[in-house]
Amino acid sequence: MGKITIVPIGPYHPLLEEPEFFKLYCDGEIVVDMEWETGYNHRGIEKICESKTFEQVFYVVERICGICSTSHPFAYANAVESIGGVQIPVRAKLIRSIIGELERIHSHLLWVGLAGHFLGYNTLFMWAWKYREPVLDMFEIITGNRNSYAMFTIGGVRRDIDETKAAQLLKVLDDVKTKTDLLVGAVMDDPVIHARLKGVGTLTAEDIHDFGAVGPTARASGVDIDVRRDDPYAAYDMVKWKVITAKEGDIFAKAEVRLLELYESISIIQQCLQLIKKEGAGDIKTKVKEIPPGIGIGRAEAPRGEVFHFVKSDGSNSPVRHKILAPSYNCITTFRRSCIGGTISDAAIATAAVDPCYCCTERMVQVYDYKSGKRIMNAADLIKLSQQKTDELRTKILAKGQ
């Protein structure tokens, strides 16, 4: 073995609930070991929740993640409502599912864009983020906010979707569907993307089971799990949809799963809107007086995988203990399997494949020489390395084609 170099990625990682730090040990170009650390900016949200009322906790957990800002209230609502045995109105169930799926659409579009950027496809990045804008605008129309929607409350939702908004939403969905076709075409038919992503960062079904990974990361490895189907909540058992899986477990499979999930989400929202129309006007909230003592476990399928909330109540107006599991925790640990043995130029996309956000880590990533401590390269260089590899592949493939 030659000289081992440590490549630190992080520690600031803005999208997950805590910034984290990856240490890649490299022998030449090959990653031989990996460590991850977190807790650099721990906000103690679980502890904060213990000092808030059940109602206030919604607005705290909503701020765990800027992208999954509905998934956490969703799982929390499921947990608290299960303690109290609260039955929510059908209309509220449908609206909850609509918001959940809209979030999945904008989150997956964001990921496609970022993955494109890492590979040196900046046009794809611009496209995907442009197509994501109308979805965020739609959020503003429905909830008043482009982010942190504050839609959930115990016993239902806080705002209704009327017919005008429903019509607007349907129009946006049609538009997103056409644009998704474009994106799917751009990714699935590109030989360079195939060469770059196939067989890279592969995770087997056993790896997924060992780490408890969830969401598209698991489904891309042929693990057919989805809380929306396995343990239905809100309106997911009232509409027809299918769980998208792929067998390969590489990054291409993860991209494929996410892209195809966009269609399912669009279809779920369309069906929910139809059902809302059929149901007619009705309550969007049931009154809940108090939460009895007990334990509640709530789950929701976030864009990145299962969100898990454990709430213990002692009959007072705030939780005694609130344990939160965000999907990224169990997905990030899989880096030990997906990155080791690969090259550094693949590490950037392999770590991005489980969908942690990388947009602001650039200035924080630096490569140091293990022995001398001298800085060799920074994050921008790392991304450049990844983009260069794509360029080389593109030149090769184009030359072959001619």
* Token output for 129: 């983020």
Interface with other proteins includes 51 (CB under 8 A)? Answer: no
DSSP line for 210-270? HHT--HHHHHTTT----HHHHS--TTTTTS-------SS-SHHHHHHHHHHHHHHHHHHHH
Interface with other proteins includes 230 (CB under 8 A)? Answer: yes
Minimum gap (Å) between residue 318 Cβ and other proteins: 14
Among 8, 134, 222, 294, binds other proteins (CB under 8 A): 294
Query: Which 3-state string (H, E, C) describes 136-204?
Result: HHHHHHHHCCCCCCCCEECCEECCCCCHHHHHHHHHHHHHHHHHHHHHHHHHHCCHHHHHHHCCCCCCC
Interface with other proteins includes 283 (CB under 8 A)? Answer: no
Interface with other proteins includes 333 (CB under 8 A)? Answer: yes
Interface with other proteins includes 232 (CB under 8 A)? Answer: yes
With contact defined as beta carbons under 8 Å apart, do 51 and 316 qualify? no
Our CA angle for 260, 74, 174, nearest 5°, is: 35
Interface with other proteins includes 165 (CB under 8 A)? Answer: no
Among 320, 360, 376, 398, binds other proteins (CB under 8 A): 320
Binding pattern for the stretch 79-118 against other proteins, x by CB under 8 A and - elsewhere: ---xx-----------------------------------
Specify the residue, 179 or 309, whose C-beta has the smaller distance to other proteins: 309
Residue 297 phi/psi, 5-degree rounding, is: -120, 120
With contact defined as beta carbons under 8 Å apart, do 138 and 175 qualify? no
Interface with other proteins includes 277 (CB under 8 A)? Answer: no
Among 69, 221, 330, 345, binds other proteins (CB under 8 A): 330
Residue 382's CB: how many other CB atoms inside 10 A? 23
Among 63, 194, 285, 321, binds other proteins (CB under 8 A): 321
Specify the residue, 236 or 252, whose C-beta has the smaller distance to other proteins: 236
Specify the residue, 149 or 236, whose C-beta has the smaller distance to other proteins: 236
Among 62, 256, 306, 346, binds other proteins (CB under 8 A): 306
Interface with other proteins includes 177 (CB under 8 A)? Answer: no
With contact defined as beta carbons under 8 Å apart, do 302 and 354 qualify? no
Among 111, 127, 131, 211, binds other proteins (CB under 8 A): 211
Residue 259 exposure: Cα atoms within 13 Å on the Cβ side:
23
CA dist 69 and 83 (Å) reads: 22
* Token output for 49: 């929740």
Residue 110 exposure: Cα atoms within 13 Å on the Cβ side:
22
CA dist 21 and 40 (Å) reads: 9
Interface with other proteins includes 38 (CB under 8 A)? Answer: yes
Minimum gap (Å) between residue 33 Cβ and other proteins: 13
- Which 8-37 residues touch other proteins, going by CB under 8 A? 18, 37
Interface with other proteins includes 39 (CB under 8 A)? Answer: yes
Minimum gap (Å) between residue 53 Cβ and other proteins: 19
Among 216, 296, 342, 356, binds other proteins (CB under 8 A): 296
Interface with other proteins includes 47 (CB under 8 A)? Answer: yes
CA dist 307 and 88 (Å) reads: 20
* Token output for 146: 């482009």
**Number of residues near other proteins (by CB under 8 A):** 36
Minimum gap (Å) between residue 344 Cβ and other proteins: 24
- Which residues of the shown chain bind other proteins in the complex (CB under 8 A)? 18, 37-39, 42, 44, 47, 82-83, 209-214, 225, 227, 230-232, 294-297, 299, 306, 308, 310, 312, 320-321, 323, 325, 329-330, 333
